[in-house]
Amino acid sequence: MSTDAHRSRPLRFGLTAALPRSGAQSREFALRVEAAGIDVLTFADHLAPTVAPFTVAAAVAAVTSRLNVGTLVLNNDFRHPVETARETASLATVSDGRFELGIGAGHMKSEYDAAGIPFDDGATRVSRLVEAVTVIRTLLDGEPIDLRGDHYRVRAGAGEIVATPPHRVPILVGGNGTRVLELAGRVADIAGFAGINHNRDATRVRLSHFDGPGLADRIAVVRNAAGERFPEIELNALIQAVVVTDDRAAAAADLGETLGADPAVLLNSPFMLVGTHEQMAEQLLARRQEFGVSYWTVFDEWAGRRSALPDIAEVIALLR
């Protein structure tokens, strides 16, 4: 399943955030995240009372020295890909190469409705994403482009409409659907997995690929699309919950009642961390060996979640 290249990759850790903070609070938070050993601080992209990802990522980059910043993930439908490329190139430049662009097809119908943006079917949104990533990658690489697609028309010479950043910008394509993950396999530097999908209007969540075989299946989609470049792709997983406990079975039973899921699935899911900090460290090492996933992202406090930062900091300290 995993390659030797994936199993030997150093572990990286991300924290994804969305809550608005004042200037002083943002600076303190960024420095605390950096000091905790987090490698990448990413920001979600929702039309909700949350931070705008490019703006806050730039602010965080300005007050840190080691921490990478990024989006997890940008909703492609909220911006034209030329504008996404321009913002990305600028942020990558001013951060001295510490920006990572995560992008997806969008899924929250309520956001589209509120903003008056047509919410097309999933196939159309993914087709738009495929074209957009082509535009973004080409412009970021400083290459000429002449795309006449079904959704975008972009024609420009090398470096004509976007200033090429001095460092290559990693692109993460995240999702659960087959076409999105095939896109990740073809063009992304990082493939992102969450183990879940939503119904059409995103009012319900289904744990569709939440166990080990499910993740393996989704990784296989990326591998088949990537071909020989698969060992070059970093594999990322979004951990849905971090629960510190001395009784893993009891914690899984409680989570099962809350989520309406089989506790056995939750207990062994690669998208959950349940146990002591030592057990969590062991779980992550075992998952890298089995699946080749080396980049793990946890949630900050938002959408009713308790921040996983203090606990993942303990795990990082054990692993490093």
CATH code for the domain in which residue 92 is found: 3.20.20.30
Q: Which pLDDT does position 136 carry in this prediction?
A: 98
Burial class (CB in 10 A: 0-12, 13-18, 19+), 213: exposed
> What are the two backbone dihedrals, phi and then psi, of residue 229, each rounded to the nearest 5 degrees?
-85, 0
What pLDDT is stored for residue 201 in this prediction? 63
| Cα 263 to Cα 60, 252, 256, distances in angstroms | 38, 5, 5
Q: Residue 208: what pLDDT? A: 85
**Mean per-residue pLDDT of the chain:** 95
> Is the distance from CB of 270 to CB of 213 less than 8 angstroms?
no
d(CA 284, CA 18): 25
Q: Phi first, then psi: what are they for 316, rounded to 5°?
A: -60, -45
90: closest CA among 20, 144, 167, 147?
Answer: 167
Say what the pLDDT of residue 207 is.
83
- Evaluate whether 187 touches 169 at the Cβ level (below 8 Å): no
Q: Within the chain, which residues score under 50 in pLDDT?
A: none
CA distances from 72 to 18, 222, 227, 248 (A): 10, 18, 25, 29
Rounded Cα distance between 186 and 233, Å, is 10
CA distances from 57 to 26, 27, 167 (A): 10, 11, 17
Are 164 and 140 in contact, with CB atoms under 8 Å apart? yes
Are 14 and 102 a contacting pair, CB within 8 Å? no
Q: What is the CA radius of gyration of the chain?
A: 19
H or E element in which residue 156 lies: strand 153-156
- Torsion over CA of 316, 317, 318 and 320, rounded to 10 degrees? 80
In this structure, the dihedral spanned by the alpha carbons of residues 262, 263, 267 and 269, taken in order and rounded to 10 degrees, is 20
| 61 alpha-carbon distance from chain centroid | 18
The C-alpha atoms of residue 230 and residue 125 are separated, in whole angstroms, by 25
Q: How much is the pLDDT for 259?
A: 83
How distant, in Å, are the alpha carbons of 29, 51, 279, 320 from that of 22?
A: 10, 11, 36, 32
pLDDT of residue 1: 58
CA-to-CA distance for 250 and 252, rounded, in angstroms?
5
Cα(12)–Cα(296) distance, integer angstroms: 6
What pLDDT, on the 0 to 100 scale, is given for residue 209?
Answer: 93
**Which residue range is the domain that position 14 belongs to?**
4-319
DSSP tag of 120? -
Q: Residues for the chain: how many in total?
A: 320
Phi then psi dihedrals of residue 43, to 5 deg:
-130, 135
Give me the pLDDT at residue 49, please: 92
Q: Tell which residue, 136, 184, 188, 198, has the closest CA to residue 161.
A: 136
The tally of domains found in the chain comes to 1
